[in-house]
A and B are shown apart, each in its own frame.
Chain A
Amino acid sequence: MSEGYATETTLVNAESNVYDRGLDAAIGLSVLTFALGMVTLVDAVPLSASGAALGESLGLILAVVVGGVGIVGVSSWANVTPVESQRVRGIALGLVVSTLGLTVLAYAVPVTLATLLGLTLVVEAVAVAVAGVASRVETVDTSPNTSAGLLAGVVFGALGLTLGAAIGGSLVGFDSPAWVAVALGAGLVLSALTVLPREDVGSTIPAALVVGTLGLTIATAVVGVGWQWNPQSLSGGFTGGAVIPIFVLVGAILSSWSAAKCRAGFGARGREFGAFLVINLNVFLMVAVMATIVVFVTVKGVGYALHGFTIGALSALVLLAPLLVVVVNAARTPAGTDDWHTGARQLFRLLPLAAVGSVAAVLLSVLVTGDRLAYPFTYSVQVNRAQQSLDTAIAVTPEPTVGSLLLVAPALLLSVYFFRTYGSLRNVGSRVGWAETIRQTLPLAVAGTVALTGLFLLVGPRPLGLPLGGTLGVAVVVLAAVAAVVLAALPLAGVLAGEGTLADRAQDRATLFTLGVFGSLALLTSALFLQATATVTPSVGPVNVVPGVALAGAVAASAATALVAYAKRQSGETLQRRLLGEEIALGLTGVAGFLTLLGLHVAVTKVSFTVLGVSVANAGTLSWPMTMQTYIPLGTEPGGILPAVVGTVWLVTGATLFAVPLGVGAAVFLTEYAEQGRFTALVEIATNALWSTPSIVFGLFGAAFLIPRLGGDESLLAGMLVLGFMLLPLVLITSREAVKSVPDEYRDASAALGVSQWETIKSVVLPAAMPGVITGVILGVGRIAGETAPLILVLGSTLNATESAQVLDGFRFTAQPPFVANDALLSASASLPTQVWAVIAAGVSGSPSMGWASAFVLLLVVLTFYAVGITARTYFRRKLTHE
C-alpha cells in the first residue's frame, strides 16, 4: 500500500484500526463457519467428531486455507498478483487465524464439532453486536443511513417469526395457541429493531440476536447431534444432523452480511459490501451442491470402476501428448489486461501445464526405474453365495510398449490439429524448379500405387496363379518407401544446406516443407495399403520397411521442426517469426502423421514393431476391465459392463441421428418457409408440451405402440426411437431459436446475389445457427443419456449382459424389402442407467459398489458426449468469428 495516499487525501483511507481488523477477523470466521456448515451438510466431517479426529479434519482444512492464502500471499508479495485491498488482506488473515484457532481448540478442548460451531456463531454474534454499538456511540467513524431498510426488516421479521414459532412451540407446546403469540411477537420485535433504529444498530443487533440464538441452541445442545423432532402433522421429521448445518449456514450468512456492512462503514458502501459477500456465499453454496453430486458419485464409484486398471507408462505418455498441446496453448494465450489481474490469469493458465508436466514426470520415472506404480484396491464379490474378498490394483506398468490404437488415435488427432493450425503457406518461399517437377510427378506415383492396390483388391495378390503381389507389390512398396524417405528428408536438407542464416534458409525452403511432408505421407500411406492388399511385408533384416520409413520420417520431421524452432528463436523479424511458426506446424504435422502411419501399420499387419527396446504392439498396454469386459457369470474376476456402455452409446447415437435431422429440418421449415401464424403457434405449443411430457409416458407409448410394430420384442431400436422422440422437442425448440436469431441481413445479402432460398439456408443460415443447434443437442443428450424409466419398458434392459450389441456387424442385406436388416437393433440390449437402477435400487444382483461404479461410468459417458458437443460448438463458433 502506498502510505502517501492516506496523508494526502481522505479519498483513500488505507489505515485500518482495531475495529477494522476485528471485523475482518469476524468476516473471516463467518466465511469459515459457512464452509464448515457445508462440510457438515454433506457429512464430509461428522458433527459428532471431537478431539483428535476433529483436529485432523480441521487440520486438513487449515492446510487448504493456508495453502490457498499462502500462494496468493506469496504471489502478491512477489508482485505477480499484487493484492492491494486492505479488506481482502484482512479477511484472508482472519480466515487463517480463525481456522488455526478452531484447530487448536479442537485438540485442546474435548467438544464436538457441533458445539464448536455453536460457540463460533455466538462469538460472531457478539462481535457484530459490539461493532454495531461502537458505531452507534460513535467511537468509530461510519456513515450509516437512517434505517437498515424495509427489505432487511421483512427478512428479519420472517426469521423472527420462524425462530419465535420454534422457541414458543418448544416452551409452551404447539397445542396451546400461545406459540402463535410468541412467534408473532418475535417477528414484530425483530423487524421493528431492524427498521426503526439507525442503520448501524438496525443491521447489527437483530442479526446478532438471531445468530446468537442459533449458536446458543447448538452450543447448549438444545438441538444436538442426536436431536429429533417428528411433528405429528408431518410424516417426516427433522434430525439434528440436518438442522444444525442449516442453522450454521444461515447464521454464517447473516453474521458475514452484518460484519461486512460494519466493515465498510454502512451506507451505500456497506450495502454494496454486504450484498457482495452474501451473493458470493450463495454462489459457493450452489456450486458446492452441484459439485457434491458429481464428487459423491465419483468417490463412491471410482475405486470399483478402476479395479484392475492397468496402463503401460509409455502408452500413458502418448495419450498425454494431446493434453500437453492443449495446456501449452492455454498457457500461451496472452492474458488480457481488462477484467482480472494479468498475473493471476497467467498463474491459472500455467497450473494445468504444471499438472500435466508432473504427471509426465511420474510416468517417465516409472519407465526409467522400471518399478510398477500401483494403488491397491480391495473389494468383495459374491461367489457361490459366499462373500469373498479380492484385491486388484490400479497400476502403471513400466513396459516400454505402446498400443497401436493408443498411438494412432492421439497421433491422428494431433496431425489434423497441426495441419489446421498451419495457414496458407502455399504462397510463401521461392519456388525451386526441381521441386515443381516432383510436385507434378507425385500425384501420378500415388495414383499408380492406389491403382495397383485396387487391382490386388479386385483380383487378389495372385491373379491367374502369378505371384504378382510378391514381386510387383514388393517392388512398388519398396520403391515408394525409398522415395518417401528421400522426400521426408527434403525439409531437413533444405534447412541445413544453402546460404544465409538458418531462419532465412528455413523460410526460403518453405516449399520443401509442404512437398516433403505431404508427399512422403501420401506415398507412404499408399504403400501401406498396397502392402496390405498384396499381403506382403518387405523388410530389411529384422526391420519392416514401411514402419521403418515412417519412423525415419518422424525423426527427420522432428529434427527439421527442432531446427526451425531454434531458427525462430534466433530470428528478430516478426513476419519471419510468424511464417516460421507455420513451418513448425507443418513439421509437427509430419511427425504426428508418420507416427499415425507407424501405428496403422501395426494395427493392419498385426505384427509389432520394435526398435531400441521400444515397441508398438497391438495388445497389452491398457486394460480397464470395468469398461472393456463383459460380465463374467459366477467368476471371481468381476468383469465389467461393456455391454451397458455400448448399449448407452448406441442409444444416444441412434436417438441423436433420428432426432437432429428431423428437429432441425422442422425448425428450418417453421422459421424460413411456413407463414408465421396460428399453425406455427400451435406447433410451438405442441413442442413445448411434448418437452414437458414425463419420460415414463414416452416409455409407455414405446411399449404399447412401437414395440408391436417393431417385431413385438423389446429392442434397442425401440429404445433409440423413444429417446429420439424425447430429444426431438428440445432440438426443435433450440434450433428454431437459433435459426430465428440469424440476422436477416445475411438472407437479404444472399437473395440480392440471386441465390435461392434453399441454398441460402444451406450455406448461410444453418452454419450461423449451428452453435445454437448444438447447444440444444448437448442439453438434450444430457437428458436422454441418463433416462431410465422408458428404457425399462422398451429396451429389454438386460442386466449384467455377457454380450454387447453388435450393431455395426449386424447389418445384413436382404433380397426383399426393406433390403437391410439388423438383428442387433431388434434385440434387447443393456444400458447404463438401467444397470445402475437394477443394481442399486432394485438390488437385483451384483454388489452395490458395482452399481456405484456403473453410475460413475455413466457420468463419464455423459461427460464425454458433452465434451464432444462442446468441442463441436466451439469449432463452429470459431468458424463464424475467427478462422
Chain B
Amino acid sequence: MSNALNDSETKQTTEGTDTQPTSTTTAGETEERVREAWTDYDFAGDPKLSVEDLNVWYGDDHALKDVSMAIPENSVTALIGPSGCGKSTYLRCLNRMNDRIKAARIDGSVELDGTEIYDPNANLVELRKRIGMVFQSPNPFPKSIRENISYGPRKHGDIEKGLLARLFGRDDTAEEDELVERSLKQAALWDEVNDRLDDNALGLSGGQQQRLCIARCLAVDPEVILMDEPASALDPIATSKIEDLVEELSEEYTVVIVTHNMQQAARISDQTAVFLTGGELVEYDDTDKIFENPESQRVEDYITGKFG
C-alpha cells in the first residue's frame, strides 16, 4: 500500500462516502466510521481496560491516533503491527509509563475497571502495582534472584526484613521465602533456580532472566500484565517457554502482549489488535477472525506479508 492516510484525508472521506466495510476495501475507503466498526470488539462482561480516543505526540510527531479499544478480563490480547507503528507507545500508555518520557504528550482516556487512570489524582504507585509490565529485553536488577523478586513488595512495605524490622518485632523472612517460591513457580522458573536464590540474577540465561522479570512482576500481585515483545531477544526454546507461560497466566491475569511475530500472536492470544504505520489501530477482533478473515485489506496484506 503506497498512500498511507493522514488526518485530513480521513476526514474528507468521512464527509463524502458511507460505504459498508468489505474485504476488498482499499486504503482510500478506510474511514473513521468504518474503522470504528472494525475495532469495535464485542465480548461478554465488562472490559478490564477501556481506552477511548487515545492520542500520543512525541513533540510534533503524532505517534498514536485516536485509538479506542476495550480489553476483556483474564485473556491474552495481542498487539501486532510493523515496527514503529506505536505498539510500545500504546502499551506504555496503559500503565502511564509514558509519563516518564518528557517529550510525550498524551490525550484521551484509559479506564481500569471503570476508573480513569489519567485522572490528575490517580495514584501511580497503586496503578502500577495493579498493572505490571515486562520489557522487551530482560532487565533484572544486579541483585540476587531473591532480592529481585521481593524488591517490589519490600519497597511497598508488604515485606519487612532486616535489623530495624526485627527490632520492631516484624521479620517477614518466612513470608519472603514463600513469596519468592510462589512467584518463581508461577513463572516456571522455580525448578531451575531453587538452589541458587542468592546468586546474582545477571548470571542467568536470557530466557531465565525474562522469566525472572515476569516473576518479579507477579510478586507485586498485579491484575494486568503488559508485555512488550517479551520474547524478541530470546532463542526459540526460551520463546516457547514464555509463550506457554503467557497462556497459563491468562487464567488469572489480563495479559496484553506486543509482538511482531504473527505466529506467536496466533498461537497465544484470544484477541488481536492490528496497528499499522502512522499510529492507527486498524482492526481489533478475535484472533481467529483477524488471521482468517480480516475486514481490512491492509490488515490482510500485512498478515500475508505483502505489506511494505
Q: Are A751 and B100 in contact (CB-based, < 8 A)?
A: yes
Q: Are A752 and B125 in contact (CB-based, < 8 A)?
A: no
Interface string of A670-687 (1 = CB under 8 A from B): 000001000000000000
Residues of B within 8 A of A880 (CB): 142, 200, 202
- B197 nearest CB across to chain A (Å): 8
Q: Are A746 and B129 in contact (CB-based, < 8 A)?
A: no
A230 sits at the interface (CB 8 A): no
Q: Are A752 and B128 in contact (CB-based, < 8 A)?
A: yes
CA distance A879 to B127 in the complex (A): 32
A1 sits at the interface (CB 8 A): no
CA distance A747 to B139 in the complex (A): 10
A748 sits at the interface (CB 8 A): yes
Query: Which of these, A763, A768, A881, contacts B155 with CB under 8 Å?
Result: A763
Interface string of B99-140 (1 = CB under 8 A from A): 010100000000000000000000011111100110101011
Query: Which of these, B95, B126, B137, B152, contacts A745 with CB under 8 Å?
Result: B137
CA distance A882 to B142 in the complex (A): 9
Query: Which of these, B124, B132, B139, B156, contacts A746 with CB under 8 Å?
Result: B139
Residues of A within 8 A of B198 (CB): 423-424, 883
Query: Which of these, A749, A751, A756, contacts B141 with CB under 8 Å?
Result: A749
Q: Are A756 and B217 in contact (CB-based, < 8 A)?
A: no
Interface string of B145-174 (1 = CB under 8 A from A): 000000110011000000000000000000
Residues of A within 8 A of B217 (CB): 752-753
Q: Which of B182-224 contact A (CB under 8 A)?
A: 197-200, 202-203, 213, 216-217, 220
Q: Are A754 and B156 in contact (CB-based, < 8 A)?
A: yes
Q: Are B152 and A754 in contact (CB-based, < 8 A)?
A: yes
Residues of A within 8 A of B202 (CB): 880-881
- B13 nearest CB across to chain A (Å): 39
Q: Are B151 and A745 in contact (CB-based, < 8 A)?
A: no
Interface string of A742-766 (1 = CB under 8 A from B): 0101111111111110010001100
Residues of B within 8 A of A881 (CB): 142, 200, 202
Query: Which of these, B124, B127, B144, B213, contacts A883 with CB under 8 Å?
Result: B144
Closest to B130 in A: A754
Central interface residue in B97, B102, B132, B143, by most chain A CB within 10 Å:
B143
Q: Given A754-B152, A754-B156, is A749 in contact with B199 using a C-beta cutoff of 8 Å?
A: no
Query: Which of these, A424, A748, A754, A767, contacts B129 with CB under 8 Å?
Result: A754
Q: How many residues on A have C-beta within 8 angstroms of the other chain's C-beta atoms?
A: 26
Q: Are A756 and B125 in contact (CB-based, < 8 A)?
A: yes
Residues of A within 8 A of B137 (CB): 745
Closest to B226 in A: A752
Residues of A within 8 A of B203 (CB): 882
CA distance A749 to B124 in the complex (A): 14
Q: Are B135 and A748 in contact (CB-based, < 8 A)?
A: yes
Residues of A within 8 A of B100 (CB): 747-748, 751
- A177 nearest CB across to chain B (Å): 68
Residues of A within 8 A of B102 (CB): 675
Residues of B within 8 A of A747 (CB): 100
Q: Which of A723-757 contact B (CB under 8 A)?
A: 743, 745-756
Residues of A within 8 A of B199 (CB): 882-883
Closest to A751 in B: B100
Q: Which of B71-106 contact A (CB under 8 A)?
A: 95, 97, 100, 102
CA distance A754 to B128 in the complex (A): 5
Closest to A882 in B: B200
Residues of B within 8 A of A743 (CB): 139
Central interface residue in B128, B139, B213, B217, by most chain A CB within 10 Å:
B139
- B206 nearest CB across to chain A (Å): 14
Closest to A760 in B: B155
Q: How many residues on B have C-beta within 8 angstroms of the other chain's C-beta atoms?
A: 34
Q: Are A751 and B128 in contact (CB-based, < 8 A)?
A: yes
Q: Are B151 and A753 in contact (CB-based, < 8 A)?
A: yes
Q: Are A754 and B141 in contact (CB-based, < 8 A)?
A: no
Interface string of A528-549 (1 = CB under 8 A from B): 0000000000000000000000
- A698 nearest CB across to chain B (Å): 37
- B179 nearest CB across to chain A (Å): 14
Residues of A within 8 A of B152 (CB): 753-755
Residues of B within 8 A of A424 (CB): 197-198
Q: Are A764 and B132 in contact (CB-based, < 8 A)?
A: no
Residues of B within 8 A of A749 (CB): 135, 139-141, 213, 216
CA distance A675 to B137 in the complex (A): 27
Residues of B within 8 A of A748 (CB): 97, 100, 135, 139
Closest to A424 in B: B198
Query: Which of these, B128, B141, B155, B220, contacts A759 with CB under 8 Å?
Result: B155
Q: Given A756-B125, A763-B151, A883-B198, is A746 in contact with B95 using a C-beta cutoff of 8 Å?
A: no
Interface string of A841-883 (1 = CB under 8 A from B): 0000000000000000000000000000000000000011111
CA distance A763 to B126 in the complex (A): 20
- B116 nearest CB across to chain A (Å): 18
CA distance A755 to B126 in the complex (A): 10
- B182 nearest CB across to chain A (Å): 17
Q: Given A754-B128, A755-B152, is A746 in contact with B141 using a C-beta cutoff of 8 Å?
A: yes
Q: Are B155 and A755 in contact (CB-based, < 8 A)?
A: yes
Q: Given A748-B139, A768-B142, is A753 in contact with B200 using a C-beta cutoff of 8 Å?
A: no
- A876 nearest CB across to chain B (Å): 10
- A879 nearest CB across to chain B (Å): 8
Residues of A within 8 A of B126 (CB): 754
Closest to A675 in B: B102
CA distance A371 to B124 in the complex (A): 76
Closest to A762 in B: B155
Residues of B within 8 A of A883 (CB): 144, 198-200
CA distance A743 to B203 in the complex (A): 17
Closest to A749 in B: B139
Closest to A742 in B: B142
CA distance A67 to B95 in the complex (A): 70
Q: Are A753 and B139 in contact (CB-based, < 8 A)?
A: no
Central interface residue in B132, B151, B198, by most chain A CB within 10 Å:
B151
- A7 nearest CB across to chain B (Å): 47
CA distance A763 to B132 in the complex (A): 19
Residues of B within 8 A of A752 (CB): 95, 97, 128, 132-133, 135, 217
Residues of B within 8 A of A423 (CB): 198
Residues of A within 8 A of B142 (CB): 746, 767-768, 879-881
CA distance A424 to B180 in the complex (A): 16
Closest to B144 in A: A883
Q: Which of A771-814 contact B (CB under 8 A)?
A: none
- A322 nearest CB across to chain B (Å): 25
Residues of B within 8 A of A746 (CB): 139, 141-142
- A621 nearest CB across to chain B (Å): 36
CA distance A157 to B152 in the complex (A): 69
- A459 nearest CB across to chain B (Å): 24
Residues of A within 8 A of B127 (CB): 754
Q: Given A746-B139, A763-B151, A881-B142, is A754 in contact with B97 using a C-beta cutoff of 8 Å?
A: no
Q: Are B124 and A753 in contact (CB-based, < 8 A)?
A: no
Query: Which of these, B97, B140, B200, B216, contacts A751 with CB under 8 Å?
Result: B97
Q: Are B144 and A754 in contact (CB-based, < 8 A)?
A: no
Residues of A within 8 A of B220 (CB): 753-754
- B31 nearest CB across to chain A (Å): 37
Interface string of A118-153 (1 = CB under 8 A from B): 000000000000000000000000000000000000
Known: A754-B127, A755-B152, A883-B200. 6 other contacts (CB 8 A): A753-B151, A753-B216, A764-B141, A880-B142, A880-B202, A883-B199
Question: Can you give 24 A-B contacts (C-beta < 8 A)?
Answer: A743-B139, A748-B135, A748-B139, A749-B141, A749-B213, A750-B151, A752-B97, A752-B217, A753-B132, A753-B216, A754-B127, A754-B220, A755-B151, A755-B156, A756-B125, A759-B155, A764-B141, A767-B142, A879-B142, A882-B200, A882-B203, A883-B144, A883-B198, A883-B200
Closest 5 CB pairs of A and B: A754-B128, A745-B139, A752-B133, A753-B152, A880-B142
Binding site for A on B (CB under 8 A): 95, 97, 100, 102, 124-129, 132-133, 135, 137, 139-144, 151-152, 155-156, 197-200, 202-203, 213, 216-217, 220
